[in-house]
Amino acid sequence: MKEFRTQVAIVGAGPAGLLLGHILHLQGIESVILEHRSREYVEKRVRAGVIEFGIANLLEDVGAGGRMRREGLVHRGIEIRYDHSAHRIALSELADGRTYTVYGQQEVVKDLIALRLEQGAALYFEAEVSSIEDVTTNAPIVRASMDGEDVRVRADFVAGCDGSYGASHRTIPGEVLRRYERVYPFSWLGILAQAAPATEELIYGRHENGFVLYSMRSASISRLYLGVRPEDTLEQWSDDRIWDELTERLSTDERPEVNRGPILERGITAMRSVVIEPMRYGRLFLAGDAAHIVPPTGAKGMNLALADVRVLAEAFDAYYSKNDEVLLDAYSAKCLERVWRAEEFSNYMTQMLHPSEDDAFENGVQRARLRQATQNREAATVLSRNYVDLNSL
Ligand code: FAD
Ligand code: DHB
């Protein structure tokens, strides 16, 4: 059995765990990060792509935003398409000049891993955490297995940053934990394609056939999504069927174009909303997807995770530099207020843009919401502020 002793044991090397480890390092607080998967796997996992204004500033302020600033695409608006017409929402104009940045989640992860390794700080891949014990004492223990060997990490605190399928939230006893969930009756089929984007700004569309989203990663890589049935499989979606459907759902009377190219990556993701309360139990603190899931329509998942970490790192700093536990005690309630705001926004965007197959009343409401969001300045302002900078509001 291998044993480590550290100040903060971090479970999971997604955006949340890696950013927390990095900020703690800057604050002189020691941590050990344990990640179930290999480095190659986490660096290649294609997921989110939209970084809010305040979260981009956070990454820059902590020295993790250099490549994002150089290579990320700065955007000032989005387009919304419905009823075969296109409507631009001038996000920056309506949100005090703030912009958002398109930069892949796996690029953020690569940048943070490189920094961690440069610092010589502890980061173990292929280390699966099986249990977290004694969290109601001052000496919690994280148990993991690494290369077939049992590992025990003793820490002052544990940060559960291990996503929705991780071990952390299962440590909270049933009589303490409250779980709120909504499952949506559709999934997203996402592709990454070697094709120049045919649009400068992101396009969200509601078509009779379902949801569509046109995004990108660079001048030569497109990222596109289709709303599909939850039971759909990738085998049912040939390349031609995907491109034909994207083209049909994105077409307007004036602008039908989608650039096609080889599909580099594809996946189907179920859509759900989950909130776990509280986000703290004893000396275990949950951050990111370990505590909450949003449907991706508002592009909030990674931003929320990184915003939790900002609050948690500040609380650890107050504890270690001033022996002050006030911020640790406030952590869960402070985050949950913002988390529920993001849940509301993600739910609003999701329900507005995914037509129902059998509920004509719901479809009427959705189209009324779309008209309001695109034609009423007050409604567009609320949407804009939430889209570009919800986590700083
Ligand atoms: P994660 O990134 O999930 O990181 C958790 C880490 O913990 C993982 O590396 C995992 O391997 C590790 N782990 C899990 N269990 C253990 C264990 N027992 N021991 C050790 N390590 C463990 N958001 C958007 O905004 N837009 C999108 O388009 C979008 N697409 C998505 C597509 C998919 C398929 C998924 C699953 C999510 C998507 N999201 C999207 C959400 C966004 O990617 C997440 O909100 C974000 O990854 C949260 O970061 P995190 O660090 O909290 O969790
Ligand atoms: C992307 C993902 C989203 O969920 C979204 O709302 C916008 C863009 C993307 O992967 O680029």
Could you identify the residue written with the tokens 């940053």? 161
Q: Across residues 96-109, what is the average pLDDT?
A: 97
* Cβ pair 136, 282 in contact under 8 A: yes
Question: In the Cβ-directed half-sphere of 168, how many Cα atoms lie within 13 Å?
Answer: 33
Residues 6+ apart with CB under 8 A from 212: 81, 203, 204, 205, 206, 224, 225, 226, 227, 246, 249, 250
Q: Is the dihedral of CA 53, 54, 59, 63 positive or negative?
A: positive
Q: Which residues are catalytic?
A: 75, 204, 296, 300, 387
What pLDDT score was predicted for residue 256? 54
Tens-place pLDDT, residues 131-166: 999 999 999 999 999 989 999 999 999 999 999 999
49 Cβ closer than 6 Å to some ligand 2 atom: yes
The DSSP output letter for 118 is H
Tell me which architecture the domain covering 2-75+99-180+272-348 has in CATH: 3-Layer(bba) Sandwich (3.50)
Band of pLDDT at residue 255, cut at 50, 70 and 90: low
C-alpha closest to that of 13 among 88, 117, 154, 98: 117
Residue of 128, 289, 343, 390 to mutate, ligand 1, most atoms within 8 A of C-beta? 289
Residues 6+ apart with CB under 8 A from 392: 52, 53, 54
Same fold yes or no, 2-75+99-180+272-348 and 185-270+357-392: no
Kindly list the domain boundaries of the chain, sorted by start residue. 2-75+99-180+272-348, 185-270+357-392
What pLDDT score was predicted for residue 257? 81
> Atom 1 of ligand 2 has which residue's CA nearest to it?
49
Q: Across residues 247-268, what is the average pLDDT?
A: 89
Residue 33 Cα to ligand 1 midpoint, Å, equals 15
The whole-chain average pLDDT of the chain stands at: 97
Residue of 31, 34, 36 to mutate, ligand 1, most atoms within 8 A of C-beta? 36
Pick the CATH number of 185-270+357-392 from 3.30.9.10, 3.40.50.980, 3.40.640.10, 3.30.720.200: 3.30.9.10
Tens-place pLDDT, residues 170-190: 999 999 999 999 999 999 999
Could you identify the residue written with the tokens 């902590």? 62
pLDDT greater than 80 at residue 26: yes
> Atom 3 of ligand 2 has which residue's CA nearest to it?
299
What pLDDT score was predicted for residue 5? 98
